[in-house]
Amino acid sequence: MRGIHLVPAGTKLSFIPKKTIFFGLSVLIFLGSIGLFLSKGLNYGIDFQGGIMMEIRTEQAMDVSSMRRNLNALGLGEVALQEFGSPTDVLIRIQKQKGDESAQQVAVETVKIALGEGVEYRRTEFVGPKISDELFWDGVMAVGLALVAILIYIWFRFEWQFGVGAVVALGHDVVATIGVFALLGLEFNLSTVAAVLTIAGYSINDTVVIYDRVRENLRKYKTKPLNELLNESINQTLSRTVMTSVTTLIALAALYVLGGAVIADFSFAMIFGVLIGTYSSICLAVPMLLHLDLDRNPVDEDESKDAVTDAS
């Protein structure tokens, strides 16, 4: 039985010859994203701006969509509802109100009046600016440490040139995702940081698969020009890359359409991340090896060691 092939066997697309176009496009995406971040900024969520968090429980399952509409009509700004644990438990997050602590208490009382009777208020907290600032920098640190850890892993797994290429591609993906959130004004919160970290993991998986084929071909073809070898490696793994991306996008599209407003921004970030991650793995991470003075000698030495081990 033959499997499904979205990319026909023997495909020979010209990726490396078009590397100048890809590099130019990536530079535009990178600079444009930074420009949007500096000029327009991000729409930070309650996690990073501070605000009110209320955990409630009702006797019967609630209509979260109806409750969201009612609370949004109160004029309290951004209101986010998240069902957790069971259909009777809901977490309500309200953006920080203008004024001191009394203004926050007024907002809490307004919400309680709107929700009516039969509601148990299990927790009511105010996320102050100090906590939100700490959460923001913790998110930045998490992304930064993830990139450093990936660089070290790829360095030891392959060579330093591969590590640099992978991290440049990952940095491109992260900045591009931030740029899209700035452009569209989507909420940027801790869930978005989790999405960015997931994007980094997905992208590096694609990159490592192609890099592994590059290393195999470096051992197999000793004299083949590097640009031809890299282009062949991309084409040999293209079917797997496209199939993985498409199947992931199908699942993410279902989450985006059916998951509701609670995870809509997270799902959107993941969808964009899969697309930009696939692009960077093929069109940025691999072509960069041409400009990093890739040395074939370590590959030869590794092969010699393997041959000695097999002989013994």
- How many C-beta atoms surround the C-beta of residue 104 within 10 A? 19
Report how far residue 162's alpha carbon sits from residue 168's, in angstroms, rounded to the nearest whole number.
Answer: 10
Say what the pLDDT of residue 295 is.
Answer: 67
Q: In whole angstroms, what separates CA 113 from the centre of its chain? A: 39
- Cβ(270)–Cβ(199) under 8 Å? yes
- Where are the chain's structural domains? 16-41+132-304, 51-127
Say what the pLDDT of residue 64 is.
Answer: 76
- Cβ(234)–Cβ(286) under 8 Å? yes
pLDDT tens for residues 223-236?
Answer: 788 888 888 888 88
Q: At 311, is the pLDDT very low, low, confident or very high (cuts 50, 70, 90)?
A: very low
Residues sharing a CB contact under 8 Å with residue 112, sequence separation 6 or more, in sequence order: 119, 121
Average pLDDT value over all residues in the chain: 79
Say what the pLDDT of residue 108 is.
Answer: 83
Residues sharing a CB contact under 8 Å with residue 202, sequence separation 6 or more, in sequence order: 248, 273, 274, 277
Residue 7 has pLDDT above 80, yes or no: no
Residue 254 has pLDDT above 60, yes or no: yes
Say what the pLDDT of residue 33 is.
Answer: 92
- CATH number for the domain running over 51-127: 3.30.70.3400
Residue 310 has pLDDT above 50, yes or no: no
* Helix, strand, coil tally for the chain in percent (to 5): 70, 10, 20
What percent of the chain is predicted at pLDDT more than 90? 8
Same fold, 16-41+132-304 and 51-127: no
Say what the pLDDT of residue 131 is.
Answer: 62
pLDDT tens for residues 31-60?
Answer: 999 999 999 888 877 777 777 878 888 877
pLDDT tens for residues 150-207?
Answer: 778 777 777 788 888 888 888 898 899 989 989 988 878 778 888 888 888 888 888 8
Report how far residue 306's alpha carbon sits from residue 180's, in angstroms, rounded to the nearest whole number.
Answer: 46
- Cβ(6)–Cβ(246) under 8 Å? yes
Q: In whole angstroms, what separates CA 66 from the centre of its chain? A: 30
Say what the pLDDT of residue 308 is.
Answer: 38
- How many C-beta atoms surround the C-beta of residue 279 within 10 A? 22
Say what the pLDDT of residue 88 is.
Answer: 79
pLDDT tens for residues 20-30?
Answer: 999 999 999 99
Residues 278-293 have a mean pLDDT of 86
Hey, what are 57's tokens? Answer: 């429980």
Q: At 302, is the pLDDT very low, low, confident or very high (cuts 50, 70, 90)?
A: very low
DSSP 281: I
For residue 264, give the amino acid letter: A
0.85 exceeded by pTM: no
Question: Which of 93, 177, 96, 164 is CA-nearest to residue 129?
Answer: 96
Highest mean pLDDT among 9-23, 74-88, 276-290: 276-290
Report how far residue 182's alpha carbon sits from residue 268's, in angstroms, rounded to the nearest whole number.
Answer: 13
pLDDT tens for residues 104-144?
Answer: 788 888 888 888 777 888 878 777 666 667 777 777 788 77
CATH topology of domain 16-41+132-304: Multidrug efflux transporter AcrB transmembrane fold (1.20.1640)
Say what the pLDDT of residue 143 is.
Answer: 76
Residue 85 has pLDDT above 70, yes or no: no
Residue 103 has pLDDT above 60, yes or no: yes
Q: What angle in degrees, to the nearest 10, is found between the helix axes of 129-157 and 190-220?
A: 10
Hey, what are 152's tokens? Answer: 């070290």
Say what the pLDDT of residue 19 is.
Answer: 87
